[in-house]
Amino acid sequence: MSSSYLVIRSEDRNKSFFPNPNDFRITSAQTFFGETGIYNVRPESVSFFYNIPNINATNNVILVDNGVMSFPVTVPESFYDYTDLATALAIALNALAIGVFTVTWNTTTYRYVITSTVPVTINQYPPLRRDLGAVMGFAYGLPLSTTITGQAADLAYTRNIYITSNTLNRHKSASDQTSSQQQNILCVIPVYPSEEFIRSNALNAKNDYLLNPRSIYYEPHNMKVIKWNTEAMGDIDIRVYDDYDQLLYNGWGSQFSWSFRISLITNKA
């Protein structure tokens, strides 16, 4: 048996055909891709540069209703902590000019509170899988009120990153790792606070939900082994998802938001 490393870098894609690193296919002329006799593949490690605002175009709209009409309210994309987000939402709500709004983060109850001079309620904003109301912990469709108190807030954009490949998983068996998110996972990278990243992110340990720019190196604990049938590997497709089954957000351009390097081990007879 012989083993070889196969390294896939998001930077190696054809950027004319695949401008974003969240969905691409490697069409390399390297002879390794055409080798035969491979009988299994498994992830070995992932290096990931992360620079994604925790409040972005996937979750920055809240729908406010005054009983007459609904108002989509958008806060600017940015890295927010709890108090900064309260300030940003208050500015956006007051720009509606339908009343005077105050938004506070209660440091005793750990809840957001909206107070206004006109009764309002929060409704779901369907275009987004998870909108700002959900991020800040507000329940949908409550009776109109001048005071709205949220529940648990979670400002993390995504707690995990899911790297998938249809091509590499085409030989998977029922015993292989699967997921309720995607069925073709290579590995799941935790990006929310965990013991693994406390040391690398110690300066921001209290605000890890911000996920400020940082480099992540991750070795899967339980390596997924994908069985092959001693055939050529061919081209490889890669898609990267967030917790909400959507392609990982990449609003700032491929060279600024994130990039990754996947190391795979292939075994041959």
Domain that holds residue 124: 61-149
DSSP symbols for 23-75: EEEE----GGGG---EEEEEEEEEEEEE---SB-TTT-EEEEE-SS-EEEEEP
Of 116, 149, 182, which marks where a domain is finished?
149
Of 149, 170, 186, which marks where a domain is finished?
149
Cβ neighbour number for residue 13 with a 10 Å cutoff: 21
Highest mean pLDDT among 34-38, 180-184, 224-228: 224-228
DSSP H helical ranges for the chain: 82-94, 132-136, 195-198
Asked if 73 and 186 sit in the same domain, the reply is no
158-179 pLDDT per residue, tens: 888 888 888 887 665 544 444 4
Asked if 258 and 167 sit in the same domain, the reply is yes
**What's the average model confidence in pLDDT over 74-78?**
95
Asked if 261 and 164 sit in the same domain, the reply is yes
Asked if 111 and 174 sit in the same domain, the reply is no
Asked if 132 and 178 sit in the same domain, the reply is no
Instruction: Answer yes or no: is pLDDT of 229 > 80.
Output: no
Mean pLDDT of the chain: 81
Asked if 126 and 172 sit in the same domain, the reply is no
Query: Distance between CA atoms of 18 and 15, rounded to whole angstroms?
Result: 5
Please give the model's pTM, rounded to 2 decimal places: 0.83
Query: Distance between CA atoms of 168 and 265, rounded to whole angstroms?
Result: 12
35-56 pLDDT per residue, tens: 667 777 878 888 888 888 889 9
Q: What is the pLDDT of residue 196?
A: 44
Of the candidates 61, 78, 72, 207, which has an alpha carbon nearest to the alpha carbon of residue 136?
61
Helix (H, G, I), strand (E, B) or coil at 146: strand
Asked if 47 and 161 sit in the same domain, the reply is yes
Asked if 120 and 203 sit in the same domain, the reply is no
Instruction: Answer yes or no: is pLDDT of 75 > 90.
Output: yes
Q: What is the pLDDT of residue 124?
A: 97
Asked if 135 and 168 sit in the same domain, the reply is no
Give percent of the chain above pLDDT 70. Answer: 78
- 74 confidence band (pLDDT: 50, 70, 90): very high
Question: How do 226-231 and 38-50 pair as beta strands?
Answer: antiparallel
Least confident window among 55-59, 80-84, 214-218? 214-218
126-145 pLDDT per residue, tens: 999 999 999 999 999 999 99
Query: What type of residue sits at position 225?
Result: V
Buried b (16+ CB within 10 A) or exposed e, 160-170: ebbbbbeebbe
Asked if 22 and 91 sit in the same domain, the reply is no
Asked if 50 and 165 sit in the same domain, the reply is yes
Of the candidates 138, 155, 139, 157, which has an alpha carbon nearest to the alpha carbon of residue 83?
155
Q: Are 224 and 171 in contact (CB under 8 A)?
A: no
Counting the structural domains of the chain, the total is 2
Residue with tokens 């994130």: 258
Q: What is the pLDDT of residue 79?
A: 86
Query: Distance between CA atoms of 121 and 264, rounded to whole angstroms?
Result: 50
- 252 confidence band (pLDDT: 50, 70, 90): low
Instruction: Answer yes or no: is pLDDT of 102 > 80.
Output: yes
- 65 confidence band (pLDDT: 50, 70, 90): very high
Asked if 169 and 253 sit in the same domain, the reply is yes
Of 149, 177, 193, which marks where a domain is finished?
149
Query: Distance between CA atoms of 74 and 89, rounded to whole angstroms?
Result: 8
**What's the average model confidence in pLDDT over 101-130?**
95
